[in-house]
Each structure stands twice: as C-alpha cells, then as structure tokens.
Amino acid sequence: MEHLIGVRILGHIKGKHMELIYFISGILTVGVVYGVVLFQKVKSSHTELLERHQSQSNISSIRSIDIDEAIEDLRLLVNDIQASMKKDQYENLGNINKKIRELETMTNSINERMGESNKIFNKNITDTLTQIAGIRNNIKILGQDPSMSSKY
C-alpha cells in the first residue's frame, strides 16, 4: 500500500503541475495571439502610413518640379528683358548720338550762316553809314552854297 500512497501523492503533485502547465500554456497562448493581432494592426497601420508618405512625397516632387520650371521660366524672362533693355539702351544711345551729331551739324551750319549774315549786315551798315556820311557832306556843301553855282 505504501506503494499506492506514493503513486497517489505523485498523481496529486502531477495534477497540480499539469494545472500549472495548462495555466502557463494558456497565458502564453493568449499573449502570443494578442501579440500577433497587435503586430498585424501595427503592420497595416505602418503600411498605410508608408503609402500616405509615398503619395505626399510624389505630390511634393511634382510641385517642386513645377516650381523649378516656373523659376527657370522666370529667370529666362528676366534675362531676356535685361538683354532687351541693354540692346534698347545701346540702340537709344546710338540714336541719341546720331541726333546729337545732326544737331551739331545743323548748329555749325547755322553758325556759319549767321557769321555770313553778320558780315553782310556789317558791310551793309558800313555802306549805309558811308552813304549817310556822303549825303551829310552833300547836304553840308549844299547848305554852304545855297545857289548851287559852285558845282557847275
């Protein structure tokens, strides 16, 4: 019987160990299932976030390219305007210089004509003064000889 008592005690101890093993096994199973479910949720959330990030990154890249193209177009436009302004400035300076030369030529021509007119005017005045002096002399002579017999 002794043998039977030992088996009973072992059976009782084995039963408690088995319950403990089942309990730990249940806790581990629940933990593993909970971990797998949580992992799947995190993975799907992570995948969704990666897709959103990729979408935003694509949109940002497209906008960046559009902005770079617009900036390059504006840069070309500014360069064209600056080149046109320089060209217009040089052309205008050339036109202004041409007009200044024309005005200088006209002014020189007018100065020469004025000089000639001055000479002619001075000659005419001199001739007129000479004629007036001659007329005065004649009047003076006439005034001294009222009968005009001395001339003949």
pLDDT tens, 3-24? 555 445 555 565 677 788 888 9
The secondary structure of the chain in percent helix, strand, coil, rounded to multiples of 5, reads: 95, 0, 5
Give residue 150's pLDDT.
Answer: 57
Confidence bin at 36 (pLDDT 50/70/90): very high
Please report where in the chains the tokens 């949720």 appear, as a residue: 41
Residue in 105, 132, 12, 112 with CA at minimum distance from that of residue 120: 112
C-alpha 68/C-alpha 64 separation (Å) is 6
Number of neighbours of residue 145 by Cβ within 10 angstroms: 11
Average pLDDT over residues 109-118: 86
Is the whole-model pTM more than 0.85?
no
Summarize pLDDT for 54-82 with one digit per residue, the tens. 988 888 889 889 999 999 999 998 888 88
In sequence order, the 6+-apart residues with CB closer than 8 A to the CB of 12 are none
